[in-house]
Amino acid sequence: MEALYATTVGMLTACSIYLILRGRSFPIVIGITMLSYAVNLFLFSTGRLVMNELPIIGNQESYTDPLPQALVLTAIVIGFAMTAYSIILAVRVRGELGTDEVNEPNSSDAEGQR
Amino acid sequence: MSLAIIVLIPFIAAVLPLLARQRSRLMITTLTAAATATSLALLLALAPAVLDGEIPQFFAAWLPSLGLDFSLRLDGLSLLFATLILGIGLLIIIYAHYYLSENDDSGRFFACMLLFMGSMLGIVTSDNLILLWMFWELTSISSFLLIGYWFHQSNARRGARMALAITGAGGLALLAGILLIGNIAGSYQLEAIFAAADEIRAHSLYLPALLLVLLGAFTKSAQFPFQFWLPHAMAAPTPVSAYLHSATMVKAGIFLMARLYPVLGGTSEWFTIVTLTGLATMLFGAYFALFKTDLKGLLAFSTISHLGLITMLLGLGTAGALLAALFHILNHATFKAGLFMIAGIIDHETGSRDLRKLSGLRKYLPFTMVLAVITSASMAGVPLFNGFLSKEMLFVESTEQHLFGGLSWLVPVLATIGAMLSVAYSIRFVHGVFFDKVATNLPKQPHEPPLMMRAPVILLSVLCVAVGIAPMVFAADILTAAMAVVSPYSFEVDIAIWHGFNLPLLMSALALIGGVAIYANRDELLSFNRQFDHHDAKDIFARIVKAVTNTSDNLMNRIETGSLQRYIAAMLGITIIFVLPELYDIAQLDGGREHMPVNVVSIVGAIIVVLAAIGTAAFHHQRLTSLMMLSVVGLMVSLIFIHFSAPDLAMTQLVVEVVSIILMILALFFMPQRIPKASSGGRVARDILLAGFVGGIVGSLNYAILTRPTNSISEFFLANSVPGGGGTNVVNVILVDFRGFDTLGEISVLAIAAAGIHKLLNNLRPFMPSSDVDGRPWHRVKHPLLVQTVSQAILPLALMVSVYIFLRGHNLPGGGFIAGLITAAAMILQYMANGVDWVKHRFDYNYQTLASVGVMIALFTGLGSWFFGKNFLTSWFAHVHWPIVGEFEIATAILFDLGVYLTVIGATLMILANFGQMTTRHRPRQEKH
């Protein structure tokens, strides 16, 4: 299970990095969002993988580690704020410059130069 | 205590001239002079005790952990310098009152002057090396302001910049040197450093420390080869030159060498470096002073020469040489301040400082001529003037040293030559200006200046003569006190005018005769000098600056290509380079922890996530498809959370997923629908390789963590959640109680992001296509009846669920974050199904207010615990028994969670509702201010 989990996180990271390396703003925002999923899963797993041991005090014998969960919960919300900010920044840039390209117009990677 | 007041008065008083700017100039000058005089009076009140060998001290801890304390001391050396700084400072202030014209902003001038004075006082009285350095840098900055006082003149700006660059760079070297010394001694307090002197000199880092400290001192005191900034600093108003280059700024380097002589001096390295530098500077300055046509330029080079002389004496380092150095500091300050002021008077009266124009002024300025003769005679070292005594002492020391073996005779010979040149330019100063034929083409008709403008010079001239005739009466006490601090050897202060016929007297005589001879033959010397191609130091400095700027520009152009893709790729590449060796060091990736068996559900789930992720990346050109794939990933992540015992996370992820996908679909409406060109094959291959590498590293790291035993602090949270926080849902208790401060930060960030988005949307003119990508118009029914009906029915249900989730959050999965997101999602549904107008009509509420109210509630809940004498955000709870309902728990944490709840609703709707309005007539336009 550990290997499967780690592979999944690795794949999510790889795909999101690929998206972040694109030259247009929309795929980059999608990439950032997916990267935040991968990071959340990574952080969450520092409490190790545990099944059926909810961090709710009750009649159980043992509980999973609640600390990473608390950290990841706020991370999800902040991640949303970041996604929202970046996507609206992208819309604003499109509105101002008329393009969704992320490279500077005169750089070697820009549309006209390639 | 009064020591601290002496140092702080100039700093505090520096605001007075600025406050009095609108008042008369006399008022400004009086305030400045009064502050200086107060400081001086307090200093003189302490003087008798210091002369008796006491050392008044002041100590206030500042940053003890860094070794920095505000600690001051007033020993003999400090007293000598502090008296010069305040005494000459007072004279300069009086002089400047008459010198500055009506157009000059005298408030700014005196404010800078006081700042500079305070910084200098700080240097000489610091008992802590870091504090000393701080004041050292303050002098660099305030002298920059003073030199650049006439900032409308380009040469003033250039001179100021150059002085700042050179002395500032030297200051950095000095800091490094001080840190080395402090490290060896274990303290930055002078007492401790003096005690560790032998240890420091024997340490392997002695030489680097010495070089760094000397670099600081040499740049400040304009020693060769850093002397070139000083002549350019002459663009300053003359009172500034008189102050900076006689008693203060350039003497700071000399002071530093004298201060640290007991620690760093006495070694062969010190001797070689300091003596030779001083000798070279002395000759260099004296030679070039001869050819300057600008009066102030002549004095500037003469200053360089005399600073070299003092440096050389400090380098020789015998008891006699140290005494001569201290004595010459005093003498040079008196005659050079006077000479600069005379140059200023001549400039003021004739409108020119050019030696080629000036001549025969004795007719117009007879009194000033007398003063000029006295001070110049002192500079030249004519007997019965104070300069003679210290110069004679230099000759004595130069003949008695045997430090260069067989070549030791060179030192007295070169010293005599230097003295000859000094005599020659002194004659030039007097003869060139006041004698010869009477000048006719002067810009102004000269006449004697007001008495008060001459008074400071008169006082200094009297001192030159008085000290020259009766040195033991006027200077012996202070020199004895200063020597006690500087000299590690036994000494006797015995300065006599007449020593009988001996070698030094012969050298003095030679210097005088030679000087006259040189001046008489100055025309030949001038043509001799002309055959050399002189590089102006200013141009060299400018070339170096230009070269450095060009190199940086080229480098920046290479690195900053303007391509975000390249930046990110480079960043990832560098990350890989740093992480790889660490991974390599892990002997085994598998940590040996017992593995969990794999079940079919997990495998299927993993396959779906991976396929959806690959799909998101692969179909990124078809944006809607890509987005749908992303939402699959998000939902699967939510399932992963629930699978591994994290119900809170799963619920949060689920709602956030819904909200963010809606947001991105909305954004998609404004983004280009078609992408004209795909990346090249090579680019795609590179990116896949890079992404694969990073993904592999992250996966490996994750595997390494997962297979290693855990060691967590969560036992504390689990044990204290119920007794300490009053809730059984540990995750929620951590959020609202144990780590409530973090959560407060999080919701603030959320609210700030929402506010930022609100601003970004303001005035935005988005692209709004009227049809889809294939030219089909949008459907005319914007709000289908079915969706409207269902959504309206869902709203109360959703609100109830969110309240329920909120209330139970402390004990069961739920809480403010999740409940807030559910409410927000339900509201968004109303916007989508019924349109903005419909919602506005029924629920016109300001979401900004909601978000800020939320943050305020959370904050005040936290502050509330102060009223009960508890720490910020301490929570309180009690169980109460209510009729019918039964046992019920009240916790202040729920109030905090309410703040979270409201912030999340407010922020989320602020983002989405505002963005959604972009397509309607409600979109934000020009904001009213």
Residue-wise pLDDT tens digits, B907-920: 998 888 888 887 77
Q: Can you give the pLDDT at residue B122?
A: 94
- In 3D space, the residue among B470, B428, B463, B221 whose CA is nearest the CA of residue B335 turns out to be B463
Asked if residue A43 is part of any domain, the answer here is: yes
What CATH number is attached to the domain comprising A23?
1.10.287
Instruction: Judge whether B852 and B863 are in contact, CB under 8 Å.
Output: no
What pLDDT, in 10s, does the model give residues B133-182? 999 999 999 999 999 999 888 888 888 988 999 999 999 999 999 999 99
CB contact under 8 A, B730 and A56: yes
pLDDT per residue over B200-218, tens digit each?
A: 999 999 999 999 999 999 9
CA–CA gap between residue B360 and residue B432 (Å, rounded): 8
* Whether A14 and B742 lie within 8 Å, measured CB to CB: no
Q: By C-alpha distance, which of A48, A37, A38 is closest to A9?
A: A38
- Residues B551-579 have a mean pLDDT of 88
- Which residues of B fall within a CB distance of 8 Å from A5? 606, 702, 706
Q: What pLDDT was estimated at residue A112?
A: 43
Residues 888-927 of chain B with CB under 8 A from chain A are 904, 907-908, 911, 915
Instruction: Please indicate, yes or no, if residue A30 is contained in any of the structural domains.
Output: yes
Percent share of chain B, pLDDT over 90: 38
Q: pLDDT value at position B444?
A: 79
Q: Specify the pTM.
A: 0.66
Q: Is the pLDDT of residue B466 over 80?
A: yes
Q: For chain A, how many structural domains are there in total? A: 1
B259-308 tens-digit pLDDT: 999 999 888 889 889 999 999 999 989 988 888 888 888 999 999 999 99
Residue A15 has what pLDDT?
95
Distance of alpha carbon B91 from alpha carbon B336, whole angstroms:
13
* C-alpha distances in Å from residue B78, one per residue of B56, B67, B73, B119: 11, 22, 8, 13
Of B626, B646, B698, which has the smallest distance from its Cβ to A44's Cβ? B646
CB atoms inside a 10 Å sphere around CB B627: 21
> What mean pLDDT value characterizes chain A?
86
Residue of chain B whose Cα is closest to the Cα of A45 = B706
Q: Which of A8, A17, A109 sits opposite B690 (nearest CB)?
A: A17
Other beta carbons less than 10 A from residue B101's beta carbon: 8
Whether B925 has a pLDDT exceeding 60, the answer reads no
Confidence of residue B783 (pLDDT cuts 50, 70, 90): confident
Within-domain flag for A113 = no
Asked whether B396 and B260 are in contact (CB, 8 A), the reply is no
Most confident of A48-52, B91-95, B580-584: B91-95
**Tokens, residue B132:** 């000393």
Predicted local confidence at residue A107, as pLDDT: 63
pLDDT band of B595, cuts 50, 70, 90: confident
Task: Determine, yes or no, domain membership for A107.
Answer: no
**Rounded to the nearest 5°, which phi and psi values hold at B294?**
-90, 130
Residue corresponding to tokens 């919701």:
B747
CB contact under 8 A, A48 and B710: yes
Say if the Cβ atoms of A70 and B739 lie within 8 Å. Answer: yes
Phi/psi of residue B898, each to 5°? -60, -40
Tally A–B CB contacts below 8 A. 320
Q: Which of A17, A25, A36, A61 to mutate to test the interface with B (most CBs of B within 10 A)?
A: A17
- Residue B714 at interface with chain A, using a CB cutoff of 8 Å: yes
Pair of tokens at residue B516: 């006259």
Residue pLDDT, tens place only, B400-458 = 877 777 778 888 898 899 999 999 999 988 888 888 777 777 777 888 888 888 899 99
State the pLDDT at residue A106: 66
> Which residue of B703, B818, B901 is the best one to mutate when testing the A interface, meaning the one whose CB has the most A CBs within 10 A?
B703
> Which residues of chain B make contact with A64, given a CB cutoff of 8 A?
644-646
Q: Mind telling me how many Å the CA of A113 is from chain B's nearest CA?
A: 12
Do residues A92 and B764 lie in contact, with contact meaning Cβ atoms separated by under 8 Å?
yes
Q: What is the pLDDT of residue B917?
A: 80
* Spatial distance between the Cα atoms of B245 and B798, rounded to a whole number of angstroms: 80
Residues 84-113 of A with CB under 8 A from B: 84-85, 87-92, 94-95, 98-100, 102-104, 106-111
**Residue B129 CB contacts under 8 Å (≥ 6 apart), including other chains:** B178, B181, B182, B188, B190, B193
At B605-662, the pLDDT tens digits run 999 999 999 999 988 888 889 999 999 999 999 999 999 989 999 999 999 999 999 9
Find out whether B904 and B821 touch, Cβ atoms under 8 Å. Answer: yes
Q: What average pLDDT does the structure give for chain B? A: 87
Higher pLDDT, B201 or B864: B201
Q: Do A10 and B694 form a contact (C-beta atoms < 8 A)?
A: no
Instruction: Give pLDDT, residue B929.
Output: 43
Q: Give the per-residue pLDDT at B887.
A: 65
Predicted confidence (pLDDT) per residue in B687-746, tens digit? 899 999 999 999 999 999 899 888 888 888 888 888 877 788 888 888 888 888 888 998
Q: Look at residue A114 and tell me whether its pLDDT is greater than 50.
A: no
Which among B654, B563, B757, B851 has a CA at the least distance from the CA of A87?
A: B757
- Give residue-wise pLDDT tens across range B3-43: 899 999 999 999 988 888 888 888 899 999 999 999 999 99
Residue B321 has pLDDT above 80, yes or no: yes
Q: Tell me, yes or no, if B670 comes closer than 8 A to chain A by beta carbon.
A: yes
- Judge whether residue A113 has pLDDT over 50: no
Q: Which residue has the higher pLDDT, B116 or B929?
A: B116
pLDDT at B465 over 60: yes
Out of A3, A20, A91, closest to residue B703 by CB:
A3
Q: Do A50 and B645 touch (CB under 8 A)?
A: yes
Nearest CA in chain B to A106: B562
Instruction: Establish if A106 belongs to a structural domain.
Output: no
What value does the mean pLDDT take over residues B542-569? 87
Residue B678: pLDDT band with limits 50, 70, 90? low
First to last CA, chain B: 52
User: Given 3-state DSSP classes, what are the helix, strand and coil percentages for chain B, each rounded to the nearest 5?
Assistant: 75, 5, 25
pLDDT tens-digit series, residues B353-375: 888 888 888 888 888 889 999 99
3-state secondary structure of B767: coil
Q: Are B314 and B327 in contact (CB under 8 A)?
A: no
- pLDDT higher than 50, residue B922: yes
Contact B754 A81 (CB under 8 A): yes
> Which domain, by its residues, includes A73?
2-50+65-99
Give the pLDDT mean for A38-49. Answer: 92
Binary contact (A1, B598; C-beta < 8 A): yes
Q: Are strands B877-882 and B68-73 parallel, antiparallel or unpaired?
A: unpaired
CA distance B662 to A24: 20
Instruction: Give residue B535's pLDDT.
Output: 63
According to DSSP, residue B521 is labeled T
